[in-house]
Amino acid sequence: MTTTYGSFPGTRPRRLRTTPVMRRMVAETRLHPADFILPAFVREGVSEPVPIAAMPGVVQHTRDSLKKAAAEAVAAGISGIMLFGVPEEDKKDAVGTPGTDPDGILQVALRDVRAEVGDELLVMSDLCLDETTDHGHCGVLDAEGRVDNDATLERYAEMAQVQADAGAHVVGPSGMMDGQIGVVRDALDQIGREDVAILAYTAKYSSAFYGPFREAVGSSLKGDRKTYQQDPANFRESMRELALDLEEGADMVMVKPAGPYLDILARVADAVDVPVAAYQISGEYSMVEAAAEKGWVDRERAILETLTGIKRAGARNILTYWAVEAARLLR
C-alpha cells in the first residue's frame, strides 16, 4: 500500500471551526454585558409608557417605568443608561428652556434614576437642545435662522451644570458645535464637578438612519442638520474633530452611527488611548426589527452579529437599544 504525505491543502483553518467549544475558545472578539449602554427616553406628562411606532419594543418612559428600566439594566449587568428627555410640546421654545430648567423632564429623570440605582449604573445625559427647542435644531438660531455656534455654547454650559447637579455621572454633548467639549469642561469645573466625565460625540454624521429617533424624541425639526453634523463622505474631518475633542478635555469619544461607519470607528480606535464608544442608532435597530418581523433574518443572531461587528471594529462600549436583551442573550 502506498501512503501519500503532504497532500494539499496542508493548512486547514476549518480545524478551528469544528465545534461550538472550539469556536468559542479561539474567538478574537467577545461581547460582555459591561460593553453596553442603554439609550432611554422619558416623556413628560404621560401616565403610561408610550410605544414608539418606528422602533418596535422601545417606548417613551414615564418616570416610574424609567426607574424600573434602570433597575433592569443593573440586574442585566450593563454599564450605563443614556437619558433623553421629551418635554411637553408647549414648553418648548426658541432657546430650549426645559434643557436648563432644574425641573425640566431630563433633570427630574436624572434625579429619579440616581435615587433608584445610585452608583450601580452609570447615569448619562444627552447634552443637546434638539429635544427642547420649538424649531428642533441642536442650537440657538440667529436672526437669519442659522444655528449660532457661540450662543449655543452658552446654553450648553448651563445645561452641563444643571445636569451635573441633577446627578449625571457622564454628560454627552451631541450637538456638534465647535468648541463644545472645552466649554462644557470649563462649566463643570467652575462648579466643582471635576468628577463628571464627558463622552464626546466626536464623529456624528448627518445620517438618514436617524429617522426613527425623531419620533422617539418628538422632534420639531424642519430642514436638516448638515451645517453642523458631519458629511458622510468625509474621514479626515473626523480625525480633526477627534484631535480637538481630546485637546479640549474629552474623557471618552464616540462615533455615531455605528454600522455604516465601522471604518471611521476602527481608525479612531487605533488613534487614541481613551475609551471609544459607538452608537448603534435608531435606524440600525429598526431595520433589523423590521426584517425579523418579516421573517427575513434570525433576529437574535442578527442582534449579536451587529454588536460583535461594532466591537470588533474597536468600540469598547456600545450604545444600543438592545443593551438589556443582548446582555441576557450572552448569559
Catalytic residues: 204, 256
Give the contacts of 17 (CB within 8 A, at least 6 positions apart).
23
Q: Which class for 27: exposed (0-12), middle (13-18), buried (19 or more C-beta within 10 A)?
A: exposed
Mapped to the 3 state alphabet, what secondary structure does the chain carry? CCCCCCCCCCCCHHHHHCCHHHHHHHCCCCCCHHHEEEEEEEECCCCCCEECCCCCCCEEECHHHHHHHHHHHHHHCCCEEEEEEECCHHHCECCCHHHCCCCCHHHHHHHHHHHHHCCCCEEEEEECCCCCECCCCCCCECCCCCECHHHHHHHHHHHHHHHHHHCCCEEEECCCCCCHHHHHHHHHHHCCCCCCEEEEEEEEECCHHHHHHHHHCCCCCCCCCCCCCECCCCCHHHHHHHHHHHHHCCCEEEEECCHHHHHHHHHHHHHCCCCEEEECCHHHHHHHHHHHHCCCCCHHHHHHHHHHHHHHHCCCEEECCCHHHHHHHHC
Measured CA to CA, the distance from residue 281 to residue 313 in angstroms comes to 16
328 within 8 A of 300, measured Cβ to Cβ: no
